[in-house]
Amino acid sequence: MRMREIRELVRPRASGLGRTSVLDRCHDMDDLRTAARRRLPRAVFDYVDGGADEEITLAANRDAFRRVCFSPRVLRDVSAPDLSTRLFGADLRSPLGLAPTGYTRMIHPDAEPAVARAAAARGLPYTLSTVATTALEDVAETGHTNLWFQLYVLKDRALTYALVSRAEAAGFHVLEVALDTAVAGHRTRDARNGFTIPPRLALRTVLDIGTRPGYWTSVLRGAPLTLANLQASDSPGQRATVAALNDLFDPAVTWDDIAELRARWPGALILKGPLGPADVRRAIEAGADGVHLSNHGGRQLDRCVSPLDLLRPAREAAGDRLALVLDSGVRHGADIAAALALGADLCMIGRPYLYGAAVGGRAGVERAVDLLVAQLRRTVQLLGVTDLTELRKHGPELVALTPSPLPHRPAGGEDGHV
């Protein structure tokens, strides 16, 4: 081998000291997760990363996707796969959306507007949570034309209906009603960490400042951590906090409330929660346009069924009358391909884009999306299909679910490569 060729082999990669270089070294969700864990204080990272009680559902969501086994087709021209789709009258570049997450400003000071801009740049929908840290009108000002709003039905029905009216006035495209929050789930990691929102400067927090100065500087210089959409109706200017969130949820919500919301909302209506076939049929009767199969990422009821296991029976019950959205456990483009083949119209991610946001704000969110879309494109090509319609049509012969998860060990071990 010539000396010049050796120099080419050992030439160091271009690198910098900023967060952009960290994002460049993130090649999958494990890498992004590791980078986020290094960036965030432990209590904040555990708030994002953790689940309810024993976190059985949190692990089961991933295990469900590890049961997927592909049987690809060969000798197909897959040089230009088409990942675009259309949902609720909007064109999407790929079958991926950004799910609602609470307290995004705690992850990065640019908060929900940065996520909305990243979604718009990639041609994807973004769902704003009722418990967001940015007012829905301010998110609408980003110019994203395919915003969804996730609604928690609150004890204060006047406040609930006011949120619906505000979302319509701000131009939100879809209303998504969360059905799995009669009460807040118990998140053991948060309890062990003594975690509060907004974070308090307790002794443990003060010690954490010394190890994460960049994070705390950005938080303290940023806007206050409040639930920006939940202004108390009887106290103008006062904002609710997560500490009182459980008191806001209404455990008495019924199908009658869904009928009332259907009457008030003129656009597409989605019901979000771990809905089985019977509830899918009830959703059709209630006038819903879609069902979002989700167990809240394992953050509400532990030991809950995985949405992937609900997918086939839900599609059989829905037929072509409802769109099916799926989240909880999606960490790879192959997961998206499997879900689409089994009957989903769209997959959503929560934690993956929060990992990206923690590392690099909008650029980090875009990195998370780009990784998943690249993995999806490659998976579709290797499966031997050219578009999503073909993937759905041949799904039963392309995808099988094995009885137990396939063996898995992250390439970089627990800490990844970053």
pLDDT in tens, 330-339: 999 999 999 9
Residue 176: which CATH number? 3.20.20.70
Instruction: For residue 129, list its beta bridge partners.
Output: 150
**pLDDT score of 239 more than 90:** no
The single-letter code of the amino acid at 11 is R
**pLDDT score of 127 more than 80:** yes
Query: Which residue from 321, 294, 308, 272 is spatially nearest to 149, judged by alpha carbons?
Result: 272
Looking at residues 185-193, what average pLDDT do you find?
86
User: Higher pLDDT residue, 281 or 231?
Assistant: 281
Which of 170-184, 208-222, 231-245, 305-319 shows the lowest per-residue confidence on average (mean pLDDT)? 231-245
pLDDT at position 17, please? Answer: 47
pLDDT at position 89, please? Answer: 96
The single-letter code of the amino acid at 72 is P
Residue 88 counted as domain residue = yes
Looking at residues 76-99, what average pLDDT do you find?
97
Total domains present in the chain: 1
Residue 94 counted as domain residue = yes
pTM over 0.85, yes/no: yes
Which ranges of 66-180 does DSSP label H, i.e. alpha helix? 111-121, 136-140, 157-169
Q: Which of 37-46, 135-144, 196-205 is most confident?
A: 135-144
- What is the pLDDT confidence band of residue 118, given thresholds at 50, 70 and 90? very high
Residue 67 counted as domain residue = yes
DSSP state of 182: S
User: Higher pLDDT residue, 230 or 308?
Assistant: 308
For the chain, the farthest-separated pair of C-alpha atoms sits apart, in whole angstroms, at 79
User: Higher pLDDT residue, 206 or 43?
Assistant: 43
Encoding tokens for residue 273? 């929660």
pLDDT tens string 346-399: 999 999 999 999 999 999 999 999 999 999 999 999 999 999 999 999 999 999
Residues 6+ apart with CB under 8 A from 295: 57, 61, 180, 274, 301, 304, 305, 306, 307, 328
Residue 265 counted as domain residue = yes
pLDDT at position 7, please? Answer: 56
Residue 110 counted as domain residue = yes
**pLDDT score of 254 more than 60:** yes
- What is the pLDDT confidence band of residue 181, given thresholds at 50, 70 and 90? confident
pLDDT at position 202, please? Answer: 62
Looking at residues 45-54, what average pLDDT do you find?
94
Query: Which residue from 161, 187, 326, 324 is spatially nearest to 250, judged by alpha carbons?
Result: 161
Query: Which residue from 368, 272, 279, 372 is spatially nearest to 325, judged by alpha carbons?
Result: 272
Residue 361 counted as domain residue = yes
Residues 6+ apart with CB under 8 A from 137: 166, 170
Domain boundaries, position 367: 19-191+221-401
Which of 27-41, 186-200, 372-386 shows the lowest per-residue confidence on average (mean pLDDT)? 186-200
Which of 12-16, 96-100, 146-150, 355-359 shows the lowest per-residue confidence on average (mean pLDDT)? 12-16
Residue 10 counted as domain residue = no
Which of 120-134, 138-152, 198-212, 349-363 shows the lowest per-residue confidence on average (mean pLDDT)? 198-212
Element (H, E) at 374: helix 351-383
Looking at residues 58-87, what average pLDDT do you find?
96
Residue 76 counted as domain residue = yes
Q: Which residues are catalytic?
A: 296
